[in-house]
Structure 1
Amino acid sequence: MYTLETLKVLELKETNSAKAILIGSEIYRNSQFGGKHPLSIPRVSAVLDLVRAIGICDKGEYKTGPCAKPELLKSFHTADYIAVLKKTEVSQKISEKDAKTYNIGSLSNPVFPEMFKRPATSVGSSLLAADLVANGGRAYSLGGGLHHGMAGYANGFCFLNDLVFAINRLRDLGVQRIAYIDLDAHHCDGVAAAFPEDENLFAVSTHERKRWPFTGGIDENIPDRLLNVPLPSQCNDTEFMFVFEKLVFPLLDRFQPEALIVQGGADALVEDPMSRLCLSNRVIFKILSILLESSQRVLLTGGGGYNPWTVARLWTGFWALISGRTVPEVLPYQATELLRSLSWQRQTKPKEIMLNSIYDVPMEGQLRDEVSDIVKKVSSLHKFKHS
């Protein structure tokens, strides 16, 4: 089911794929968390502009994500929290009591003009994606991936949790057995908390250990339910692929999901400021290629990622893969100029490869004993003996 033949492919190439739809919204271009918040960089808007500059998104392949209604949101989030979120968006102020209760107004989860509409659009987009995937297609919810969102409060830049809604919508539409694969550098604590006793959901998280939210440890593994692989800092492409080849892919094969949801956070990449993992986007592309070969029903989302150049290039590559497109090794002039136009307060001049190519330099390296030991320990917990 999960073939490693795809590993031989270093560039994004055309594949046999189900019809794919890209879902975005201009709300991400026209809103930001404010100040020096890590999310106050061009992400979704940069990807939409870049795929068009490269010429890999036809008009019929793009849909604008709708804003989810409050009543729908209350099917997971608490009514009092949704009410406070909406009220605070209007008034742009929050009481000390509500700020403490709902974790709003902090540096991580600030008050800003679109603080309800923006995450509600992420939920609406991922619900639309789930509708398309349930019918046998593939969909990419660019603004989705809010995996820290909790039922009754904001958490880790996430005011809502679109992934929970996507999983539940697939269930409502008859897709019961779902594998959730989280590629973000941070553990998916919100998704894990929402489905604590679900034998038909296999949640996989490969995240940096000793990194916020400090959950997802080895002791939090449950066979065929929760696969947590806490990775050491400086994890390279070789080690990351080893984890997937020896552990993740075989356990996914054992679980036999009817659909895949892939949270494609970009913060595990070496140039991201919010983790100490050292991955190139090439290894992430390889992993997604294998996942796409394994299932016709794939729902892909965004996630973390706090360097505009690494995010734009990774997520554009994701769209190329899921839609079966070819991206040239050297980008066309329009795409290069677009990347040059991006700005970031932490870095004024990116490496030249980030402007001229969608592909990173590979970050291959030694397979450390501690990574092998982690795989052995987790394999044992899942009653699986890797080769």
Structure 2
Amino acid sequence: MSGRAQLMWDEAVTGYDFGPDHPMDPVRLALTRKLVDAFGLEKDIEVVGAKPAGDSTLRLVHREDYIEAVKAASADPRSADGAYGLGTVDDPAFAGMHEVSALIAGQSVGAAEAVWRGDALHAVNFAGGLHHAMPGGASGFCIYNDAALAVARLLELGAERVAYVDVDVHHGDGVQAAFWEDPRVLTVSLHEHPRTLFPQTGWPQETGAEGAEGSAVNVALPAGTGDTGWVRAFHSVVPELIADFRPQVLVTQHGADTHFEDPLAHLAVSLDAQRAVQMACHDLAHEYAEGRWVALGGGGYAVVEVVPRSWTHLVAIAAGRPIEPETVIPESWRSEVFARTRQLAPMRMTDGRWPVGHADWDAGYDPADRLDQAVLATRKAVYPLRGLLP
């Protein structure tokens, strides 16, 4: 086992529910938790709950007027008229919205506290990773930005260098915005190119404010990028930057919506590549951050086929008991899936693409390849600011 690990969980997080027609179906959380149980991972990871984030914690990132607006919309959803991004198609208001959003934020803040204080080496909150919420508004299915709040809490506790790596298919815009002027935080986002996907930000030229130049890193991947390119892009940028920054804690966001079956985006990444990058993040935490790792969920809208398997791999890696890709999924879970959704569940913990290969950047790049062009654009924009060679 790689060290003490915690899984942050409270059944009430499944109340983060925008309604039956919304793509962010909370069944993805319930099914992930059931799959974790089906594999017996609770024997290797401590399952704990944390209190909801209070107003003083929420104010580490969010404006007070926005918090009050969320509370008002939560108490009377019909009053939400689009102000502060509440009551929109992406973020419809619902009763109890403030309470459950604060609860999810509390789990990520609790994970950060546990890792910083040494109560756990790794901590996972797969209900978190709501990275689009801005200091003054909701955005992209996200009400409170638990990822940014976890980083802010680490800074409040005394951390001097925190690295945040986001591999969701969408740009981690809210976290980047929260720390745009703060050189103590390195934000790295690998995402589909803003020309083709929400939120239309995350260009390579977005590198941080004056005084924090090179603290924001964006790899904008061409639509259609598959396993080899995605893993190559990760290894061509992230390890070198983490080695240079040497964070005291690594916070990572693992949105599962890079998958080729995800209905809301256009990458072609497999479960096996997602697992490979999860393992790489774990290894980077051990190599450069004394093992301190906070791992969050994020997007993911293939709620049966992809999300539970991807995040169960994440939990297993954090627990020090990685699940082999060819492992057959327990029948008990498959029956649970059918009972809840009337869908047939996948049979194994792989998409049949393991092992996932990639070419090292040091071996050279193809200037005509769109993926390599994207990686080089990032390296040219950021590396000189950090005193590195592109």
TM-score (normalizing by structure 2): 0.87
Indicate if the aligned counterparts of 1:134 and 1:174 stay in contact, CA closer than 8 A.
Answer: no
The one-character-per-residue Cα deviations of 1:24-51 (angstroms, maximum 9, x if unpaired) are: 2212334521131111241221111111
The one-character-per-residue Cα deviations of 1:318-354 (angstroms, maximum 9, x if unpaired) are: 00001111425112222332344452xxxx655xxx5
Question: Hey, what's the Cα distance between the residues in 2 that align with 1:106 and 1:29?
Answer: 21
Aligned partner of 2:379 in structure 1 is 379
Indicate if the aligned counterparts of 2:5 and 2:45 stay in contact, CA closer than 8 A.
Answer: no
Could you tell me which of 222, 225, 229 is aligned with 2:215?
225
Residues 311/356 of structure 1: CA separation in 2 closer, same or farther (3 Å cut): same
Aligned partner of 2:331 in structure 1 is 333
Deviating above 6 A after TM superposition, structure 1's stretches of 4 or more consecutive aligned residues are 363-368
What is the Cα deviation at residue 365 of structure 1?
Answer: 9.4
SS of structure 2 residue aligned to 1:43 = helix
Could you tell me which of 116, 119, 123 is aligned with 2:101?
119
Could you tell me which of 75, 83, 87 is aligned with 1:90?
75
Matches within 5 A, 1:142-161: 142-161=126-145
Matches within 5 A, 1:330-369: 330-343=328-341, 349=343, 355-362=346-353, 369=369
Indicate if the aligned counterparts of 1:265 and 1:305 stay in contact, CA closer than 8 A.
Answer: yes
Residues 20/103 of structure 1: CA separation in 2 closer, same or farther (3 Å cut): same
Structure 1 unmatched runs, 5+:
1-15
The one-character-per-residue Cα deviations of 1:215-247 (angstroms, maximum 9, x if unpaired) are: 001221356411100001111110011112222
Aligned partner of 2:88 in structure 1 is 106
Matches within 5 A, 1:104-253: 104-136=86-118, 137-209=121-193, 210=195, 211-222=197-208, 224-253=214-243
Question: Hey, what's the Cα distance between the residues in 2 that align with 1:174 and 1:191?
Answer: 19
Aligned partner of 1:9 in structure 2 is none
> Which has the larger displacement, 197-206 or 36-45?
36-45
Residues 113/60 of structure 1: CA separation in 2 closer, same or farther (3 Å cut): same
**Structure 2 counterpart of 1:154, one-letter code:** A
What is the Cα deviation at residue 59 of structure 1?
Answer: 9.0
**Structure 1 counterpart of 2:49, one-letter code:** T
Aligned partner of 2:302 in structure 1 is 307
Indicate if the aligned counterparts of 1:224 and 1:255 stay in contact, CA closer than 8 A.
Answer: no
Question: Hey, what's the Cα distance between the residues in 2 that align with 1:61 and 1:267?
Answer: 27
Aligned partner of 1:262 in structure 2 is 252
What is the Cα deviation at residue 262 of structure 1?
Answer: 0.3
Question: Hey, what's the Cα distance between the residues in 2 that align with 1:72 and 1:196?
Answer: 19
> Which has the larger displacement, 357-366 or 133-142?
357-366
Percent of residue pairs identical: 32
Residues 240/60 of structure 1: CA separation in 2 closer, same or farther (3 Å cut): closer
What is the Cα deviation at residue 135 of structure 1?
Answer: 2.3
Aligned partner of 1:4 in structure 2 is none
SS of structure 1 residue aligned to 2:14 = coil
Task: Tell me: higher relative CO, structure 1 or 2? Use CA pairs within 8 A at least 6 residues apart.
Answer: 1
Indicate if the aligned counterparts of 1:127 and 1:169 stay in contact, CA closer than 8 A.
Answer: yes
Residues 294/74 of structure 1: CA separation in 2 closer, same or farther (3 Å cut): closer
**Structure 1 counterpart of 2:76, one-letter code:** S
TM-score (normalizing by structure 1): 0.87
What is the Cα deviation at residue 272 of structure 1?
Answer: 0.7
Residues 31/162 of structure 1: CA separation in 2 closer, same or farther (3 Å cut): closer
**Structure 1 counterpart of 2:64, one-letter code:** A
**Structure 1 counterpart of 2:97, one-letter code:** M
> Which has the larger displacement, 300-309 or 135-144?
135-144
Structure 2 unmatched runs, 5+:
286-290, 359-365
What is the Cα deviation at residue 361 of structure 1?
Answer: 2.6
